[in-house]
C-alpha cells in the first residue's frame, strides 16, 4: 500500500490486483491449494512433452522436484526451450506464465502469455489465460482482442461449457469498461449455457449469477440484483456448504445491496 502512493496508475493497478489475489487465496486456502496442484500437474505433463528438446536427466530432475513442490528446476527447463522453435516454445511460455501468475508476478505472467498467444494465436487455453490477465491489468484493448477471438473459436465449436466461460470473461471485461448494457446479455447467455452443460446447481453458475447481480447493483437495478444474489447464495450453500468462503462473498454483496437501500437491519444480519 505504501508503494502504491508513489506508483503510477499502471503500477497501482498491478499492486491492487496482487493484493486482491492474496486476499482470495487466504479466503479459500483449500481451493487455492487444489488450483496449485492442478497447475503443477499440468506443468509435469508439459515437461513430458519436451522430451527430446533438452537432456533427459534435466527433464526428469525437473519433474521430480516439481512433484515435491519445487518449481525452480521446471522453470529452468521451460526457459531453456524459449530460444528454440516450434509449438514447444509456446507451451513453455504458457507454463512459465502459469507459474508467474501463481507467484503473483503478474507482469511476468502477462509477458509469457503474450508470447504464447503470438506463437499460437488459435490456442483457446492460451487466449483465455492472456485475456484474463490483460483484463486484470486493465489492458482492455488487448484483452478484447484476445477474448473476442476466443469467443469466435468457441462459437465455431458449438455451445459448450467452454463457450460459457469465454462469454463470462467478455462480460467481466465489458463490466470493467463500464459498458453495462453490453455486459448484461453476455452474462445471461453464459448462465444459460453453463446451466445446460454443468447444471443449474453448479458453483460455476453461481459465480456468474453473482457477477450479474453485482452489475445490476452498481447500475442501481436493485429489483433485478437481489433475486440473483439469493439464487447464487442458495446454489453455493447447497453445492459448497453454508460455511464456505464463497458463500460469505455473496452474503457480503447482498449486504451491500441492502445497505444501499437503507435496509440496515437486513444488511447487518447479512454482514
Residues written for the chain: 271
Instruction: Give backbone dihedrals phi and psi of 122, rounded to 5 degrees, phi first.
Output: -110, 15
* Contact indicator for 17, 136 with CB cutoff of 8 Å: yes
Grade residue 237 by pLDDT with cuts at 50, 70 and 90. very high
Residue 42 has pLDDT above 80, yes or no: yes
Residue 249 has pLDDT above 80, yes or no: yes
Tens-digit pLDDT profile for residues 64-103: 999 888 999 999 999 999 988 778 999 999 999 999 999 8
- Output DSSP code: residue 130: H
pLDDT top residue among 170 and 22: 170
Grade residue 5 by pLDDT with cuts at 50, 70 and 90. low
Grade residue 22 by pLDDT with cuts at 50, 70 and 90. confident
What does pTM read for this prediction?
A: 0.87
Q: Which residues neighbour 72 within 8 Å (Cβ) at sequence distance 6 or greater? A: 65
pLDDT of residue 99: 95
The mean pLDDT value for 174-181 works out to 94
Cell digits of residue 20: 486482491
pLDDT top residue among 52 and 141: 141
Helical H runs in the chain?
2-5, 9-27, 29-49, 56-67, 72-81, 87-102, 106-119, 124-136, 140-157, 161-176, 180-198, 203-218, 222-240, 245-260, 264-270
Which of 19-23, 229-233, 255-259 shows the lowest mean pLDDT across its residues?
Answer: 19-23
Q: Beta-carbon neighbour count of residue 206 at 10 Å?
A: 27
Grade residue 6 by pLDDT with cuts at 50, 70 and 90. low
- What is the maximum alpha-carbon separation in the chain? 66
- What is the residue whose three cell numbers read 496449485? 36
Q: What is the percent of the chain with per-residue pLDDT over 90, rounded to a whole number?
A: 73
Which of 47-61, 104-118, 139-153, 249-263 shows the lowest mean pLDDT across its residues?
Answer: 47-61
Strands in the chain per DSSP E: none
Grade residue 20 by pLDDT with cuts at 50, 70 and 90. confident
6 burial type by CB count under 10 A (0-12 exposed, 13-18 middle, 19+ buried): exposed
Mean pLDDT of the chain: 91
- Output DSSP code: residue 84: S
Cell digits of residue 7: 506508483
The mean pLDDT value for 107-122 works out to 95
Q: What is the percent of the chain with per-residue pLDDT over 70, rounded to a whole number?
A: 96
Integer Cα distance of 86 and 132 in angstroms: 25
Residue 23 has pLDDT above 80, yes or no: no
Cell digits of residue 15: 499492486
The mean pLDDT value for 159-165 works out to 96
Instruction: Give backbone dihedrals phi and psi of 231, rounded to 5 degrees, phi first.
Output: -65, -45
Amino acid at each position: 500500500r505504501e508503494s502504491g502512493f508513489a506508483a503510477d496508475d499502471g503500477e497501482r493497478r498491478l499492486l491492487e490486483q496482487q493484493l486482491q489475489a492474496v486476499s482470495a487465496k487466504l479466503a479459500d486456502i483449500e481451493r487455492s491449494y487444489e488450483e496449485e496442484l492442478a497447475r503443477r500437474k499440468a506443468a509435469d505433463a508439459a515437461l513430458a512433452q519436451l522430451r527430446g528438446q533438452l537432456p533427459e536427466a534435466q527433464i526428469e530432475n525437473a519433474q521430480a522436484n516439481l512433484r515435491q513442490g519445487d518449481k525452480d528446476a521446471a522453470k529452468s527447463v521451460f526457459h531453456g526451450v524459449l530460444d528454440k522453435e516450434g509449438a514447444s516454445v509456446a507451451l513453455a511460455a504458457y507454463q512459465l506464465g502459469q507459474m508467474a501468475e501463481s507467484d503473483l508476478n503478474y507482469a511476468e505472467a502477462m509477458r509469457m502469455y503474450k508470447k504464447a498467444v503470438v506463437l499460437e494465436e488459435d490456442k483457446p487455453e492460451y487466449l483465455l489465460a492472456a485475456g484474463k490477465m490483460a483484463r486484470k491489468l486493465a489492458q482492455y484493448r488487448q484483452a478484447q482482442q484476445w477474448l473476442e477471438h476466443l469467443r469466435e473459436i468457441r462459437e465455431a465449436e458449438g455451445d459448450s461449457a467452454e463457450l460459457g466461460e469465454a462469454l463470462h470473461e467478455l462480460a467481466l471485461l465489458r463490466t470493467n469498461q463500464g459498458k453495462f448494457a453490453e455486459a448484461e446479455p453476455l452474462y445471461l447467455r453464459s448462465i444459460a449455457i453453463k446451466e445446460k452443460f454443468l447444471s443449474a446447481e453448479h458453483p460455476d453458475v453461481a459465480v456468474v449469477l453473482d457477477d450479474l447481480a453485482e452489475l445490476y447493483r452498481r447500475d442501481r437495478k436493485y429489483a433485478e440484483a437481489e433475486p440473483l444474489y439469493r439464487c447464487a447464495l442458495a446454489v453455493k450453500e447447497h453445492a459448497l456448504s453454508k460455511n464456505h468462503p464463497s458463500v460469505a462473498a455473496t452474503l457480503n454483496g447482498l449486504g451491500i445491496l441492502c445497505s444501499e437501500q437503507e435496509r440496515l437491519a437486513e444488511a447487518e444480519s447479512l454482514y
